[in-house]
């Protein structure tokens, strides 16, 4: 299979009303996996449907490899794009069995060769015994994987996944996701995954594009968007954050947790963003805090604390075996550098 | 997927889940070819109504008021309304009660009852009225008319009510109970609102059938607008008096459609979330078992067993008297089947553009087109027949007195039946599957052939059968439009029974029942046995 | 599988219908241009008997379109000069007069006209009578003793007769009787009589229903045409066993004799065959077909005796009415105004 990169330039989709996608640009490298992450209604599914050819953009251009799929002059029909598209519900054809579904997109002559179904089922981690099942005899995760096998049967250069795991329960979701990722890597397909689940985006993709209100707020590696979010909103969307007001002078910010190093230079009134796992709790010395509540999760625990002599409420993620008790007085340290954002005008 | 809301007369647009999202709707441009096709069909459907109003207005205001503002009109109006007001509630009670017993209680042999309760669909109302008058001449007038029509038409309520009760999610009832509602309260507050649109649709269907009923009322000597229109036709072909009465009837039909819209309410019933439906829990009948079985037995007895038995008795008499002439009987059966097949195909094809439009590109335009088709087919066959005769004589002479004109009339009359079937079928082929197919490299026409058609075909066939059944027993339009020399079972039956020749009419009555019965059973399977 | 049964069922129906269509002539579904088109509102069995005998005699094929008098008359008028009809046969003459006034009838052949006595043809000489029927009062002697029988049909509009008689006012038969009354008695008397009818009479769907109601004792008497009674008497007497006939005679409106008409259409595409058909119907052979058809209508052809059970036409003392003067549209207007239609 030849992989091809995706280049989206200045894509705007309107549906006749206010823009759902506003001047969006994105690049996905050949064979790469990009997760488009955003809250519902942010326009991420529309982006996927525009890629697949079900939505006609008002402006902008979509290219796959060297082929222009959509520009001012027109658009290529969905069936001629060579793009695999797997929806949230799988959308298996209810009148066909698993084999019929998987072979659906192949040329007539190849559809007779049912033997090719077995390897495809194995590719997505299913038993070839399922080949003659009907869709309603499959579990949700199995349906999802059959849908993926169906999309992969045509050896598409690009595969689009629209929240494919969101309707599955937790255990199934991890397994299906793993199987999907393995299958896609094996085929070397360029993949775009749409999701609102940040853990899924971070673990699945080599590039994460965070979308708010029809625009990309940040595009980067999982580590970049998590550790160095472009805005506090992006940071908050990717995980729990604390925003502490402080005064920055270049490389250091002064806030209730003391003087902290900055990852990026900043000056003036800022908000320092700290993630719960950046707090280290220890024996009470220096900065101290009283434990208000502990939510134990097994591997780790979320600890809420009130900073001594302040009204500041902190949250720390600590290893589960090392969690303090309610009412304990603990010391708080922030060992690494933090990121600061200019304080929005008008806020106290 | 919810079952059809409406078995055979189809005034219920499909409101349930499966309607495409707003997002999907505008993503691709509206296919103008389909719009044009749907418009053409709508124009065909509306043409008869326009002709009727045109002829009525041609009479002039003075003539119109002379013909309409007279005691006879008041008498016809009163009779028509009294018939509707008495019969419709009876059918609602019978239909809902029977549906409840069959679908939600521990009644034994529910499957058998389900079939039996639908069998009246196989016995045309004018046949059962013939059966009753032939043994009990005192069954006549308003009482007789209500008696016969209520027994003949309650399945129109039973079918949608049963389908809905069957598909009802027990989870809703449980939730209501856990929120503190009593058993009855839960039924009233959870089941009744869900039942309302379906029952309103069924009741509307009954009312429209009553407005259009001719055979029964003629036999019962109970004059209504429709019998008066046919009488005026007999007197004056298509005179202004008949057209004025017809126009009044059109207005009545529109009024009924409006009432139905009000009664149905804005309710949309959809099942949220991916959860599976909980199987309903049967209500224990206990000591009420025997009375319930007794009541159902009486209902089936009066609506099916007695009329069919009487027809059989007359048939046996006709056979023993050697009065059954096979040649005209076979010929009438042949032309009935021929016309019904043609009408079934025509209506099924004609309904597709509108249904497709409504399914894929719901818009005011599409909904308006759909309503238009309902208006035309809410009209009695005689009005449509009359209008098409006028149209053909003046503008389309070549089709005059051909099967084509009769088939056109049947299409106008029965198109919504095909429409409802298509819509319920198209709901089984949602946009997502079409898109999945497109993204798998299959073109638009290929997708239609390989995804949409296989999923929709069973429903389309249901629509075909519904139209076939209706055509096979249609009387009034056929009386006006049948090609020269063509006798259908209904018209042959009618000319014999009009002369009160019970023996000679029996074979035709029996043939109509024999033709309809298997299809009714098939319909039951299609509509009530859906998952 | 259910779906499969369903499909099989449909397939069976489809096959049945193909067999059904295939087993018949193609011309079942449309007018056959090779056949003579006869529009007939006469009784089906009589028309058929004429057509069959005519085809046997001449080899000319005939196709019949059934209808009822008035609507068929109006239909031919609406179709105009290009009507497919070659020949029009009626039960009563007003429908024929309607077409005649539309100037759509071809002149009657002299030879055909002479086959029927002059008093049984209209003054206009564009059509001929082909059969005749007489108005009678059928009564149930158990409910209405002979002594109380009305002397004139006009009496039935009086208060004494409230709810005591019936008729089929929606049919052309009865409307012809009213047309006869209108021609003989004038508009005012007819209008009043119709008002009385609306109050007094039970409206039944047709003559047979009227007769059966009288027979069952539901009403004491009813106005019908004679032949329904004689036909039933000749058969099972099921519908007339308890009844007798009363002839009003004395040129009473109730003694009206209605003429069934036959004519060739001016726009006929087969005028020769059409004239032959009409000549045949009125010929002694054709009139014999009528008598043999057991329809019990009066034969009108010169020298042909009607069924022996019937009192001779000449003894009925019918009111003298020129059929040409009968106005069916005026009658339907009067009846509509009276609230009967």
Do A247 and A335 belong to one domain? yes
Average pLDDT, chain C: 86
Q: Percent helix, strand and coil across chain A, each rounded to 5?
A: 30, 35, 35
- For residue C2, what pLDDT band results from cuts at 50, 70 and 90? very low
Q: Report, as an integer, the average pLDDT of C139-164.
A: 94
- For residue A180, what pLDDT band results from cuts at 50, 70 and 90? confident
Q: In B, residues 441-480, which contact C (CB 8 Å cutoff)?
A: 458, 461, 464-465, 468
* Closest chain B residue to C174, measured at CA: B235
Do A191 and A308 belong to one domain? no
Return the H-helix or E-strand segment holding A229: none
pLDDT digits (tens, 9 = 90+) for C46-103: 999 999 999 999 999 999 988 888 778 888 887 888 888 999 999 998 889 889 988 9
Q: Report, as an integer, the average pLDDT of C118-123.
A: 84
pLDDT digits (tens, 9 = 90+) for B440-460: 989 888 898 899 888 888 888
Please indicate if any CB of chain B lies within 8 Å of the CB of A150. yes
Q: Report, as an integer, the average pLDDT of B497-517.
A: 87
Lowest mean pLDDT among B13-27, B99-113, B504-518: B13-27
Q: In B, residues 357-396, which contact C (CB 8 Å cutoff)?
A: 389-390, 393
Please indicate if any CB of chain C lies within 8 Å of the CB of B183. no
CA distances (Å), B227 to each of B476, C204, C222, in order?
A: 10, 13, 22
- The predicted structure's pLDDT at residue B264: 65
Q: In B, residues 57-116, which contact C (CB 8 Å cutoff)?
A: 66-67, 70-72, 75
CA distances (Å), C228 to each of C44, C185, C212, C297, in order?
A: 14, 26, 10, 9
CA–CA–CA angle A289, A295, A296 (5° rounding):
115
pLDDT digits (tens, 9 = 90+) for B281-329: 677 787 888 999 999 999 999 999 999 999 999 999 989 988 788 888 9
| C174 class by beta-carbon count within 10 Å (0-12 exposed, 13-18 middle, 19+ buried) | buried
Residue A347 lies inside a defined structural domain of this protein: no
Write down which residue in A235, A267, A293 finishes a domain.
A235
Do A251 and A171 belong to one domain? no
pLDDT digits (tens, 9 = 90+) for B128-160: 999 998 888 778 889 999 999 999 999 989 988
- The predicted structure's pLDDT at residue B194: 78
Q: Do C20 and B338 touch (CB under 8 A)?
A: yes
Q: Do A87 and B436 touch (CB under 8 A)?
A: yes
Short-list C280, C330, C294, CA closest to C54: C280
- The predicted structure's pLDDT at residue B22: 34
Alpha-helix residue ranges (DSSP H) falling in C145-270: 172-185, 187-200, 207-215, 226-234
- The predicted structure's pLDDT at residue C21: 39
Do A167 and A286 belong to one domain? no
- The predicted structure's pLDDT at residue B17: 33
Write down which residue in A217, A235, A253 finishes a domain.
A235
Residue A294 has pLDDT above 90, yes or no: yes
Q: Do B455 and A77 touch (CB under 8 A)?
A: no
Please indicate if any CB of chain A lies within 8 Å of the CB of B28. yes
Do A154 and A245 belong to one domain? no
Is-contact B456 B422, C-beta < 8 A?
yes
- The predicted structure's pLDDT at residue C177: 94
Q: What is the CATH number of the domain that holds A282?
A: 2.40.50.140
Using DSSP's 3-state secondary structure scheme, residue B26 falls into coil
Residue A348 lies inside a defined structural domain of this protein: no
Q: Percent helix, strand and coil across chain B, each rounded to 5?
A: 75, 0, 20
pLDDT digits (tens, 9 = 90+) for C299-341: 999 989 999 999 999 899 999 888 877 877 788 889 988 888 7
Do A250 and A203 belong to one domain? no
- The predicted structure's pLDDT at residue A186: 87
Average pLDDT, chain B: 81
- The predicted structure's pLDDT at residue A346: 59
Q: Do B438 and A54 touch (CB under 8 A)?
A: yes
Q: Which residues in chain B have their CB less than 8 angstroms from residue C19's CB?
A: 334
Do A197 and A277 belong to one domain? no
Q: What is the ipTM of this complex?
A: 0.77
Report how many domains make up chain A. Answer: 2
Q: Do A54 and B428 touch (CB under 8 A)?
A: no
Interface test with B, best of A54, A108, A139, A157 (most B CBs within 10 A): A54
Do A190 and A283 belong to one domain? no
Short-list A116, A41, A99, A48, CA closest to A78: A48
Of B27, B274, B441, the CB nearest to A54: B27
Whether the pTM exceeds 0.95: the reply is no
**Interface size between B and C, measured as CB pairs under 8 A:** 156
* Closest chain C residue to B458, measured at CA: C3
pLDDT digits (tens, 9 = 90+) for C31-46: 677 899 999 999 888 9
Q: Pairing state of beta strands C128-139 and C221-225?
A: antiparallel
Q: Do A16 and B26 touch (CB under 8 A)?
A: yes
Lowest mean pLDDT among A143-147, B199-203, C158-162: B199-203
Return the H-helix or E-strand segment holding A305: strand A300-307
- Angle at which helix B32-58 crosses helix B364-377, to 10 degrees, equals 40
Q: Do B436 and A94 touch (CB under 8 A)?
A: no
| A175 class by beta-carbon count within 10 Å (0-12 exposed, 13-18 middle, 19+ buried) | middle
Domain positions in chain B are 22-267+294-528
Q: Report, as an integer, the average pLDDT of A67-85.
A: 85
Using DSSP's 3-state secondary structure scheme, residue C261 falls into strand
Question: Above pLDDT 70, what percent of chain B?
Answer: 87
Q: Which residues in chain A have their CB less than 8 angstroms from residue B26's CB?
A: 15-16
Q: Report, as an integer, the average pLDDT of C220-243.
A: 91
Please indicate if any CB of chain A lies within 8 Å of the CB of B274. yes
Check residues C112 and B185 and name the one with the higher pLDDT: C112
Domains defined along chain C, listed by start: 32-132+258-310 (3.40.190.10), 133-256+329-337 (3.40.190.10)
Q: A219 to chain B nearest CA, in Å? A: 26
Lowest mean pLDDT among B516-520, C4-8, C174-178: C4-8
- The predicted structure's pLDDT at residue B399: 84
**Three-state DSSP string of A197-212:** CHHHHHHHCCEEEEEE
> Tokens 């499966």 identify what position?
B18
CA dihedral of residues B122, B124, B125, B126 (deg, nearest 10): -150
- The predicted structure's pLDDT at residue A224: 93
Q: B439 to chain A nearest CA, in Å? A: 5
Q: Do B442 and A91 touch (CB under 8 A)?
A: no
Do A155 and A248 belong to one domain? no
Check residues A145 and B368 and name the one with the higher pLDDT: A145
Residue A278 has pLDDT above 50, yes or no: yes
CA distance linking residue B63 with residue B75, whole number of Å? 19
- The predicted structure's pLDDT at residue B278: 54
CA distances (Å), B346 to each of A30, B127, B340, C286, in order?
A: 53, 27, 10, 44
pLDDT digits (tens, 9 = 90+) for A79-91: 888 889 998 878 8
Q: Which residues in chain C have their CB less than 8 angstroms from residue B337's CB?
A: 13, 16-17, 20-21
Q: In C, residues 246-285, which contact B (CB 8 Å cutoff)?
A: none
Strand blocks (E) in B245-298: none
Residue C212 has pLDDT above 70, yes or no: yes
**Domain of residue A57, residue span:** 6-235
Q: Do B451 and A93 touch (CB under 8 A)?
A: yes
Do A16 and A118 belong to one domain? yes
Q: What is the CATH number of the domain that holds A24?
A: 3.40.50.300
- Angle at which helix B453-472 crosses helix C2-22, to 10 degrees, equals 50
What does the block give as tokens for B215?
């055979």
Please indicate if any CB of chain A lies within 8 Å of the CB of B451. yes
Q: C63 to chain B nearest CA, in Å? A: 7
Q: Do A54 and B455 touch (CB under 8 A)?
A: no
CA distances (Å), A281 to each of A244, A334, A336, in order?
A: 18, 9, 14
- The predicted structure's pLDDT at residue B11: 33
Do A286 and A310 belong to one domain? yes
Q: In B, residues 341-370, which contact A (CB 8 Å cutoff)?
A: none
CA distance linking residue A24 with residue A13, whole number of Å? 9
Q: In C, residues 286-325, which contact B (CB 8 Å cutoff)?
A: none
Lowest mean pLDDT among A268-277, B371-380, C4-13, C152-161: C4-13
Q: B429 to chain A nearest CA, in Å? A: 9
Q: Looking at the structure, give the CATH architecture of the domain made up of residues B22-267+294-528.
A: Orthogonal Bundle (1.10)
Question: Above pLDDT 70, what percent of chain A?
Answer: 98
Do A204 and A285 belong to one domain? no
Q: Do A81 and B433 touch (CB under 8 A)?
A: no
Q: In C, residues 185-224, which contact B (CB 8 Å cutoff)?
A: 203-206, 208-209, 212, 216, 218
Residue A1 lies inside a defined structural domain of this protein: no
């Amino acid at each position: 299979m030849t992989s091809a990169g995706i280049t989206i330039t200045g894509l705007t989709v309107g549906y006749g009303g206010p823009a759902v996608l506003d001047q969006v640009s994105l690049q996905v490298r050949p064979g790469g996996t990009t997760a488009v992450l955003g809250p519902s209604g942010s326009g991420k599914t529309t982006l996927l449907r525009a890629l697949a050819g079900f939505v006609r953009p008002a402006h902008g251009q979509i290219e796959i490899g060297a082929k222009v799929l959509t520009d001012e002059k027109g658009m290529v029909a969905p069936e001629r794009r060579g793009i695999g598209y797997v929806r949230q519900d799988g959308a298996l054809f209810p009148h066909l069995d698993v084999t019929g579904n998987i072979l659906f997109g192949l040329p007539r002559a190849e559809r007779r060769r049912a033997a090719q179904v077995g390897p495809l089922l194995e590719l997505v981690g299913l038993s070839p015994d399922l080949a003659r099942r009907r869709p309603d005899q499959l579990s949700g995760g199995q349906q999802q994987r059959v849908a993926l096998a169906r999309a992969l049967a045509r050896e598409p250069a690009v595969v689009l996944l629209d929240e494919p795991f969101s309707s599955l329960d937790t255990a199934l979701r991890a397994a299906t996701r793993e199987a999907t990722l393995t299958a896609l890597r094996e085929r070397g397909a360029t993949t775009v995954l749409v999701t609102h689940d940040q853990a899924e985006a971070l673990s699945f993709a080599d590039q994460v594009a965070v979308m708010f209100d029809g625009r990309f707020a940040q595009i980067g590696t999982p580590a970049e968007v998590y550790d160095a979010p472009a805005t506090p909103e992006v940071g908050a969307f990717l995980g729990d954050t604390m925003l502490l007001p402080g005064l920055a002078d270049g490389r250091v910010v002064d806030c209730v947790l003391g003087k902290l190093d900055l990852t990026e230079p900043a000056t003036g009134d800022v908000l320092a963003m700290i993630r719960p796992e950046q707090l280290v709790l220890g024996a009470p010395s220096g900065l101290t805090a009283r434990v208000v509540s502990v939510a134990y999760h097994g591997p780790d625990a979320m600890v809420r604390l009130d900073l001594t002599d302040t009204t500041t409420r902190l949250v720390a993620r600590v290893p589960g075996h090392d969690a303090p008790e309610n009412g304990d007085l603990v010391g708080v340290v922030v060992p690494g550098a933090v990121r600061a954002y200019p304080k929005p005008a008008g806020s106290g | 997927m919810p079952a059809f809301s409406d078995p055979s007369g189809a005034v219920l647009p499909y409101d349930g889940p499966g309607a495409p999202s707003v997002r999907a709707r505008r993503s691709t441009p509206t296919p103008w070819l389909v719009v044009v096709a749907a418009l053409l069909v709508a124009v065909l459907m509306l043409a008869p109504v326009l002709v009727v109003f045109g002829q009525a207005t041609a009479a002039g205001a003075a003539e119109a008021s002379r013909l309409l503002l007279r005691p006879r009109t008041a008498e016809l109006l009163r009779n028509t309304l009294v018939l509707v007001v008495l019969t419709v509630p009876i059918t609602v009670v019978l239909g809902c009660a029977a549906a409840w017993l069959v679908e939600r209680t521990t009644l034994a042999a529910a499957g058998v009852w389900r079939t039996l309760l639908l069998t009246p669909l196989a016995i045309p109302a004018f046949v059962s009225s013939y059966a009753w008058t032939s043994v009990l001449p005192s069954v006549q007038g308003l009482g007789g008319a209500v008696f016969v029509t209520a027994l003949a038409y309650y399945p129109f309520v039973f079918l949608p009510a049963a389908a809905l009760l069957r598909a009802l999610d027990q989870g809703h009832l449980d939730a209501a109970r856990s929120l503190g509602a009593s058993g009855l309260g839960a039924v009233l507050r959870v089941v009744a609102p869900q039942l309302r649109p379906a029952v309103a649709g069924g009741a509307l269907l009954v009312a429209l059938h009553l407005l259009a009923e001719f055979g029964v009322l003629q036999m019962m000597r109970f004059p209504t607008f429709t019998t008066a229109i046919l009488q005026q036709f007999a007197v004056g072909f298509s005179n202004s008096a008949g057209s004025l009465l017809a126009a009044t009837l059109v207005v009545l039909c529109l009024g009924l459609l409006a009432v139905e819209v009000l009664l149905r309410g804005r309710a949309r019933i959809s099942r949220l979330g991916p959860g599976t439906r909980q199987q309903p829990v049967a209500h224990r009948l206990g000591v009420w078992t025997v009375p319930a079985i007794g009541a159902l037995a009486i209902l089936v007895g009066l609506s099916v067993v007695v009329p069919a038995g009487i027809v059989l008795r007359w048939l046996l008499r006709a056979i023993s008297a050697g009065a059954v002439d096979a040649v005209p009987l076979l010929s009438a059966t042949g032309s009935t089947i021929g016309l019904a097949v043609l009408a079934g195909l025509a209506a099924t094809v004609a309904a597709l553009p509108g249904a497709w439009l409504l399914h894929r590109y719901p818009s005011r335009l599409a909904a308006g087109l759909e309503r238009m088709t309902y208006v035309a087919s809410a009209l009695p066959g005689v009005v449509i027949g009359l209008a098409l005769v006028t149209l053909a004589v003046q503008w389309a002479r070549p089709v005059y007195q051909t099967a084509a004109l009769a088939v056109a009339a049947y299409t106008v009359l029965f198109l919504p039946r095909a429409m409802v079937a298509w819509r319920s079928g198209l709901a089984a082929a949602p946009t997502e599957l079409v898109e999945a197919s497109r993204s798998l490299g299959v073109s638009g026409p290929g997708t239609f052939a390989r995804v949409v058609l296989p999923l929709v075909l069973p429903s389309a066939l249901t629509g075909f059968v519904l139209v076939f059944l209706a055509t096979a027993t249609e009387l009034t339009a056929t009386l006006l439009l049948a090609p020269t020399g063509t006798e259908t079972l209904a018209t042959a039956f009618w000319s014999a029974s009009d002369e009160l020749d019970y023996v000679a009419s029996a074979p035709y009555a029996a043939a109509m029942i024999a033709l309809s019965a298997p299809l009714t059973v098939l319909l039951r399977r299609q509509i009530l046995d859906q998952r | 599988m259910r779906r499969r049964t369903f499909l099989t069922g449909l397939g069976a129906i489809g096959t049945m219908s193909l067999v059904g269509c295939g087993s018949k002539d193609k011309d079942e579904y449309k007018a056959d241009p090779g056949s003579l088109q006869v529009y007939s509102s006469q009784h089906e069995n009589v028309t058929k008997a004429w057509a069959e005998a005519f085809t046997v005699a001449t080899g000319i094929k005939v196709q019949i379109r059934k209808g009822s008098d008035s609507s068929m008359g109006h239909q031919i008028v609406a179709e105009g000069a290009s009507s497919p009809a070659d020949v029009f046969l009626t039960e009563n003459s007003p429908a024929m007069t309607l077409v005649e006034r539309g100037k759509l009838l071809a002149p009657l052949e002299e030879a055909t006209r002479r086959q029927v006595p002059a008093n049984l043809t209209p003054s206009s000489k564009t059509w001929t009578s082909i059969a005749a029927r007489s108005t009678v009062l059928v009564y149930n002697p158990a409910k209405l003793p002979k002594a109380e029988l009305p002397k004139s049909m006009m009496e039935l509009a009086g208060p004494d007769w409230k709810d005591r008689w019936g008729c089929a006012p929606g049919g052309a038969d009865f409307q012809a009787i009213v047309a006869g009354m209108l021609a003989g008695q004038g508009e005012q008397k007819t209008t009043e009589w119709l008002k009385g009818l609306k109050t007094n009479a039970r409206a039944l769907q047709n003559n047979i229903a009227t007769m059966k109601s009288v027979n069952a004792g539901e009403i004491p008497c009813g106005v019908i045409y004679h032949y329904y009674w004689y036909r039933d008497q000749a058969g099972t007497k099921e519908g007339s066993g308890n009844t007798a006939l009363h002839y009003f005679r004395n040129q009473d409106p109730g003694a009206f004799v209605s003429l069934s008409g036959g004519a060739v259409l001016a726009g006929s595409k087969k005028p020769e065959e059409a004239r032959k058909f009409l000549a045949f119907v009125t010929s002694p052979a054709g009139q014999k077909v009528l008598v043999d058809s057991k329809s019990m209508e009066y034969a009108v052809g010169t020298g042909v005796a009607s069924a022996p059970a019937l009192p001779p036409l000449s003894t009925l003392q019918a009111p003298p009415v020129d059929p040409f003067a009968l106005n069916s549209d005026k009658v339907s207007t009067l009846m509509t105004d009276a609230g009967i239609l």
